[in-house]
Chain A
Amino acid sequence: MERLIFIVDSTLRDGSHAVSHQLNADQVRGYAQRAELANIPLVMVGHGNGLGASSLQLGRSKLPDREMLAIARQELKRSKLGAFLIPGFGTIKNDIGPAIDAGIDALMIACHCTEANITRQHLQYAASRGVATYGVLMMTHMATAGELLEQAKLMESYGVQGVLLMDSAGAYLQRDVAEKVGTLVSGLRTAVGFHPHNNLGLAVANSVAAVEAGASIIDGTARGFGAGAGNVQLEVAIAVLHRLGYQTGVDLYRLMDAAEYVAREVMKKPITIDAVTLTSGLAGVFSGFAPHAIRAAERFDVDVRDILMELGRRKAVGGQEDLILDVAMNLKQKKGQRPEDFQLESLS
Chain B
Amino acid sequence: MSNQGTHNKIPVAIIGTGNIGSDLLVKVLRSPYLTCAMFTGQHPDSPGIARARELNIPTSADSIAAIERNPGCCDIVFDATTAEAHRRHAPILARLKKFAIDMTPSQAGGMCVPLLNLDDSIAKQNVNMVTCGGQANAPIARAIMAVHPDTQYMEVISSIASKSAGIGTRNNIDEYTQTTSDGIRALAGVPQVKTIIILNPADPPYLMHNTLYAEIKQPDLPALERSVKDTVEKIREYVPGFKLLYGPVQESGRVTTITEVVGRGDYLPTYAGNLDIINCAAVAVAERYAKKKLGLA
Which A residues have a C-beta under 8 Å from some C-beta of B?
53, 55-58, 87-94, 111-112, 114-115, 117-118, 120-122, 299, 314-317, 319-320, 322-323, 325-326, 329
> Which residues of A lie under 8 Å from residue B167 when comparing CB positions?
117
Among A55, A122, A299, residue most surrounded by chain B Cβ atoms (within 10 Å):
A55
With A55-B155, A55-B194, A326-B246 as contacts: A317 and B174 at CB distance below 8 Å: no
In the docked arrangement, what's the CA distance between A120 and B171, Å?
7
Q: How far is the CB of B96 from chain A (nearest CB, A)?
A: 30
> Which residues of B lie under 8 Å from residue A88 when comparing CB positions?
173, 176-177, 196-199
**What are 9 A-B contacts with C-beta separation under 8 Å?**
A57-B157, A57-B213, A90-B177, A117-B170, A299-B251, A319-B157, A320-B200, A322-B159, A329-B246
- CB of B201 within 8 A of chain A? yes
Please name the residue on chain B nearest to A56 by beta carbon. B213
Are the CB atoms of A93 and B202 closer together than 8 Å? Answer: no
> Which residues of A lie under 8 Å from residue B246 when comparing CB positions?
325-326, 329
With A88-B177, A299-B251, A325-B246 as contacts: A112 and B256 at CB distance below 8 Å: no
Q: How far is the CB of B157 from chain A (nearest CB, A)?
A: 5
State how many residues of chain B have any CB contact under 8 Å with chain A: 31
- CB of B178 within 8 A of chain A? yes
Please name the residue on chain A nearest to B245 by beta carbon. A326
Extra contacts besides A91-B174, A319-B196 (16): CB < 8 Å: A56-B213, A56-B215, A57-B196, A58-B196, A87-B177, A89-B177, A90-B177, A91-B177, A91-B178, A94-B178, A115-B199, A120-B170, A121-B174, A315-B200, A315-B202, A326-B258
Please name the residue on chain B nearest to A87 by beta carbon. B173
Among B174, B176, B178, B254, residue most surrounded by chain A Cβ atoms (within 10 Å):
B174
- CB of B162 within 8 A of chain A? yes
- CB of B59 within 8 A of chain A? no
> Which residues of B lie under 8 Å from residue A89 when comparing CB positions?
177, 196-197
Task: Give B164-181 as 1s and 0s: 1 = Cβ < 8 Å from A's Cβ atoms.
Answer: 000100111110111000
Among B157, B167, B196, B201, residue most surrounded by chain A Cβ atoms (within 10 Å):
B196
Are the CB atoms of A112 and B200 closer together than 8 Å? Answer: yes
In the docked arrangement, what's the CA distance between A56 and B254, Å?
9
Please name the residue on chain A nearest to B203 by beta carbon. A315
Q: How far is the CB of B65 from chain A (nearest CB, A)?
A: 26
Q: How far is the CB of B186 from chain A (nearest CB, A)?
A: 16
> Which residues of B lie under 8 Å from residue A121 when comparing CB positions?
171-174
Which B residues have a C-beta under 8 Å from some C-beta of A?
155, 157, 159, 162, 167, 170-174, 176-178, 194, 196-202, 209, 211, 213, 215, 245-246, 251, 254, 256, 258
In the docked arrangement, what's the CA distance between A317 and B201, Å?
9
Are the CB atoms of A320 and B202 closer together than 8 Å? Answer: no
In the docked arrangement, what's the CA distance between A93 and B159, Å?
22
Are the CB atoms of B251 and A118 closer together than 8 Å? Answer: no
Q: How far is the CB of A59 from chain B (nearest CB, A)?
A: 12
In the docked arrangement, what's the CA distance between A176 and B53, Å?
47
In the docked arrangement, what's the CA distance between A94 and B170, Å?
19
In the docked arrangement, what's the CA distance between A58 and B213, Å?
12
Are the CB atoms of A112 and B171 closer together than 8 Å? Answer: no
In the docked arrangement, what's the CA distance between A123 and B200, Å?
21
> Which residues of A lie under 8 Å from residue B198 when comparing CB positions?
88, 112, 317, 319-320
Q: How far is the CB of A302 from chain B (nearest CB, A)?
A: 15
User: 8 shortest A-B CB distances, which residue pairs?
Assistant: A88-B197, A315-B202, A322-B211, A114-B201, A56-B213, A118-B173, A319-B198, A91-B178
Are the CB atoms of B174 and A87 closer together than 8 Å? Answer: yes
Q: How far is the CB of A155 from chain B (nearest CB, A)?
A: 13
Are the CB atoms of A57 and B211 closer together than 8 Å? Answer: yes
With A56-B155, A88-B177, A91-B178 as contacts: A112 and B199 at CB distance below 8 Å: yes
Please name the residue on chain B nearest to A319 by beta carbon. B198
Among B170, B197, B245, residue most surrounded by chain A Cβ atoms (within 10 Å):
B170
Are the CB atoms of B173 and A322 closer together than 8 Å? Answer: no
> Which residues of B lie under 8 Å from residue A320 when comparing CB positions?
157, 159, 198, 200
Q: How far is the CB of A322 from chain B (nearest CB, A)?
A: 4
Are the CB atoms of A317 and B200 closer together than 8 Å? Answer: yes
Please name the residue on chain A nearest to B256 by beta carbon. A325
With A87-B177, A121-B171 as contacts: A112 and B201 at CB distance below 8 Å: yes
Checking B157, B170, B213 against A118 with a beta-carbon cut-off of 8 angstroms, the contacting residue is: B170
Checking A55, A299, A323 against B196 with a beta-carbon cut-off of 8 angstroms, the contacting residue is: A55
> Which residues of B lie under 8 Å from residue A323 when comparing CB positions?
159, 209
> Which residues of A lie under 8 Å from residue B170 when comparing CB positions?
115, 117-118, 120
> Which residues of B lie under 8 Å from residue A94 when comparing CB positions?
178
> Which residues of A lie under 8 Å from residue B159 when comparing CB positions?
320, 322-323
Are the CB atoms of A115 and B196 closer together than 8 Å? Answer: no
Please name the residue on chain B nearest to A314 by beta carbon. B202
Please name the residue on chain A nearest to B247 by beta carbon. A325
In the docked arrangement, what's the CA distance between A322 and B254, Å?
13
